[in-house]
Amino acid sequence: MHSIRWVWGYIRKYRVGLFFGLAMALFVSVLNMVNPYISGMIIDKVIYDNQTELLWPLLGIMVGVTFSKTVIRYSYQLIFERISQSTIFKIRGKLYDRLHQLDFHFYDRTKTGDIMARMTGDMEAVRHFTAWVIYMIFENATILLFALGLMFYIHPPLALAMLAVTPIIGFLAFRLTYSVRPTFSAIRGQFARLNSVVQENISGNRVVKAFAKEDYEIEKFSVENAAFKEKNLNSARIWERYLPVLDSLAGVLTIIMILVGGIMVINGSLTVGQLVTFNSLIWALTNPMRMAGWLINDVQRFIASAEQVEELLNTEPEIVNPPEVVKVKELKGFVDFNDVSFRYGDELVLKDISFNVLPGQTVGIIGPTGSGKSTLINLLSRFYDSDSGEVRVDKTNVKDWNLYKLRENMATVMQDIFLFSDTIEGNIAYGNPHATLEAVQEAAKRAEAHEFISKLPEGYDTIIGERGVGLSGGQRQRIALARAFLKDSSIIILDDTTSSVDMETELKIQNTLKANFKDKTCFIIAHRISSVKEADLILVMQDGMIIEHGKHDELINKKGYYYNVLQNQYGNFDEQHQGKEVII
Ligand SMILES: Nc1ncnc2c1ncn2[C@@H]1O[C@H](COP(=O)(O)OP(=O)(O)OP(=O)(O)O)[C@@H](O)[C@H]1O
């Protein structure tokens, strides 16, 4: 009932259409009684009583009823289809909005395949319910009621005899509903897992091939596929137990009718015409019974799917806008971390981080892998919130900023570069869609990307594959860099952005940064000393703590971790590798 109430929240808007649709369905159910009744009249009045003048008018009514039924049924099917499409359009839109509101916490723990299953299979089950199941339930219920009413009107004793098996059918239908419901939840859960395997395999097909793990992946898929088949079969087994019984009971009705009705005709308590009417109405009892099974199936499927869709819609992001936001158009670029600590679950990833940055300064962050560098800048963009301490931008806690304004004022190039399957121009202009081609080209020049883009046959119009397939790692990084440069934000964050770029190009990019982004606050996370040595402040991180900080020369004089890294990258290796740089 809860799922019905939930979907009603969306359908309510179309209640006038729904009312007319159901009214038409009701009318068709009434019309369905007319032809069986007239068939009986033709037998009794035209054939037995020889009132031949009634034949043509009665036949005319039958033709008219048949035609009207078809037209009206078509009309309300269209109404329900429109209602369902509008409903689904609304829900799908809300789901998509919600997916954009949800934060990193949600995406950390949710599989893409599961989200896709909700957006496709579950939405289809909801659509099917609103487009078909609602009116089919109504149509079948009213036909059954009218048929029983007409039967009782014509001949109550025979109608009672026909009703004999009805309680059994009701009981069986209830049992079926009860036992089949968990199987639908299991099926849709397994469908989501199957989706996840397929989605991961498509995204990771290069890794699969590189490790020649096709057989392993096929086997992994087979296991999930077999489980999906098994769960469907489990459900079907329950069906198979009940459906033949429901079907047989429907057949029993015909036998009861012929047997009891025949005896009554012989006794003279029932006319042949009345028997013919009963016979013509038998489908109106058996059909709803047969359909009951399928409709229960569809309703269960709907409930299982609606629960999943609703759950996603009701998932609240942990990172939300504050009720009162600071209203500033542009950030200046002050950044302060005051005793900031952060955990992923139980793992303490950042411990008592404190540092201050002025607008226009560049901060280099260096440290071993997993030391918390990316996490630190994730707190700056409020992808996550700190557990204790304060992250301040322009002297205001990031939690008091309008979330979207804050991020709009930051240009972040993430470590895991993502390019959309769009043109190169479209990808660079992603953060600034109204930028002219000249502006896009200027940003690409600053990111040292213009030269290689111009050499592509279609230049900036080249469509790049999903995630930037078709470009080298360094080219992808430079396009992402151009995207950030074009955004012209107060704070620029580059997370390991030039790791795949050669040293010479990296130097050019650094000079560009220095010359063109003097007034911007810039964070550069890197593994190479060369990437950070010009910074105004270098933070050296280890195990979630800042173990050293200062300028390049100061850190060298400290002869600590930074100095050792420098030695590893330039020192001893210099002699052995003729100055070739090594990435730590
Ligand atoms: N989404 C996440 N959920 C749980 N733990 C995470 C998540 N992201 C990172 N971690 C953990 O947090 C710690 C710090 O990770 P982080 O990515 O900040 O390190 P990093 O210094 O940027 O490393 P790298 O140089 O390899 O990019 C690691 O132990 C990592 O396993």
pLDDT tens for 524-542 read 998 888 888 889 999 999 9
Q: Around Cβ 205, how many Cβ atoms within 10 Å?
A: 12
- pLDDT-derived band at 468 (thresholds 50, 70, 90) equals low
107 pocket-lining for ligand 1 (C-beta < 6 Å): no
Within 13 Å, how many C-alpha atoms sit on residue 263's CB side? 8
Q: Is 335-577 a domain of CATH 3.40.50.300?
A: yes
Cα(346) to centroid(ligand 1), Å: 13
* Tens digit of each residue's pLDDT (9 = 90 or more) over 356-409: 999 999 999 999 989 999 999 999 999 999 999 999 999 999 999 988 889 989
Angle ∠(478,479,481) on CA atoms, nearest 5: 60
Residue 56: Cβ-neighbour burial (10 angstroms; 0-12, 13-18, 19+):
exposed
- Residue 583: CB within 6 Å of ligand 1? no
Beta-strand relationship, 491-495 and 396-397: unpaired
Name the nearest CA neighbour of 28 among 87, 68, 81, 84.
68
Does the complex come out with an ipTM higher than 0.90?
yes
- Mean pLDDT check: name the lowest of 16-30, 235-249, 351-365, 453-467: 235-249
Strands 545-550 and 388-393: unpaired
Quick check: 87 and 134 in contact, CB under 8 A?
no
Task: Give the count of beta carbons closer than 10 Å to the beta carbon of residue 278.
Answer: 26
Q: Tokens representing 569? A: 């990258």
Q: Looking at per-residue confidence, does 504 or 549 come out higher?
A: 549
Model confidence band, residue 204 (pLDDT cutoffs 50, 70, 90):
confident
pLDDT of residue 65: 97
State the distance from the centre of ligand 1 to the C-alpha of 375, rounded, in angstroms: 6
Q: Is 372 in the pocket of ligand 1 (CB under 6 A)?
A: yes
Ligand 1 near 499 CB (within 6 A): no
| Mutate which of 350, 371, 385, 496 for ligand 1 pocket (most atoms within 8 A of beta carbon) | 371
* Neighbour-count burial of 447, counting CB atoms closer than 10 A to its CB (0-12 exposed, 13-18 middle, 19+ buried): buried
- On whether the CB atoms of residues 568 and 561 are closer than 8 A, the answer is no
Q: CA-to-CA distance for 48 and 267, rounded, in angstroms? A: 17
Of 197-206, 247-256, 294-303, 558-567, which range is least confident?
Answer: 247-256
Q: Which atom of ligand 1 is nearest to the CA of 496?
A: 27
What is the mean predicted confidence (pLDDT) over 121-133? 93
Q: 373 C-alpha to center of ligand 1: Å?
A: 8
User: Which pLDDT score is estimated for 236?
Assistant: 87
Please tell me the predicted confidence (pLDDT) of residue 501.
76
pLDDT at position 508 is 79
* Interval 456-475 mean pLDDT: 82
pLDDT of residue 256: 86
Domain residue ranges in the chain? 2-314, 335-577
Q: What percent of the chain has pLDDT over 70?
A: 97
pLDDT higher than threshold 70 for residue 580: no
**Coarse DSSP helix, strand, coil percentages of the chain, rounded to the nearest 5 percent:** 70, 10, 20
Ligand 1 neighbourhood includes 378 CB (under 6 angstroms)? no
Distance 542 CA to ligand 1 centre (A): 12
The yes-or-no verdict on residue 543 having pLDDT over 50 is yes
Higher-confidence residue: 319 or 503? 319
Q: How far apart are CA 36 and CA 31, in angstroms?
A: 10
Q: Which is higher by pLDDT, 242 or 93?
A: 93
Using one digit for the tens of pLDDT, what is the confidence trace for 236-259?
888 788 778 777 877 888 888 899
Return the pLDDT at 469: 64
User: What is the pLDDT confidence band of residue 51, given thresholds at 50, 70 and 90?
Assistant: very high
Q: What is the pLDDT of residue 575?
A: 43
Q: Whose CA is nearest to atom 30 of ligand 1?
A: 370
Residue 577 has pLDDT above 50, yes or no: no
State the pLDDT confidence band at 415, using cuts at 50, 70 and 90: confident
The mean pLDDT of 467-490, rounded to a whole number, is: 85
Atom 31 (ligand 1): residue with closest C-alpha?
370
| Element containing residue 393 per DSSP (H, E) | strand 388-393
Of 34-38, 90-94, 195-199, least confident by mean pLDDT is 195-199
Which uninterrupted H or E stretch holds 74? helix 55-101
Strand, helix or coil at 518? coil
pLDDT for 578 equals 44
Burial of residue 53 (CB within 10 Å: 0-12, 13-18, 19+) is exposed
Task: Answer whether 2-314 and 335-577 agree in fold.
Answer: no
pLDDT given at position 338? 95
584 — pLDDT class (breaks 50, 70, 90): very low
Task: Give the sheet arrangement for strand 545-550, strand by strand.
Answer: 410-413, 491-495, 521-525, 362-366, 537-542, 545-550
* Minimal-distance CA residue to ligand 1 atom 26: 369
Q: What is the pLDDT of residue 277?
A: 95
Mean pLDDT of 291-309: 86
| Any ligand 1 atom below 6 A from CB of 528 | no
d(CA 462, CA 22): 53
Class of domain 2-314: mainly alpha
How many angstroms does the Cα of residue 371 sit away from the middle of ligand 1?
7
Query: What type of residue sits at position 370?
Result: G
Choice among 52-61, 337-346, 353-362, 505-514 with the minimum mean pLDDT:
505-514
Candidate from 105, 107, 344, 498 with most ligand 1 atoms within 8 A of CB, to mutate: 344
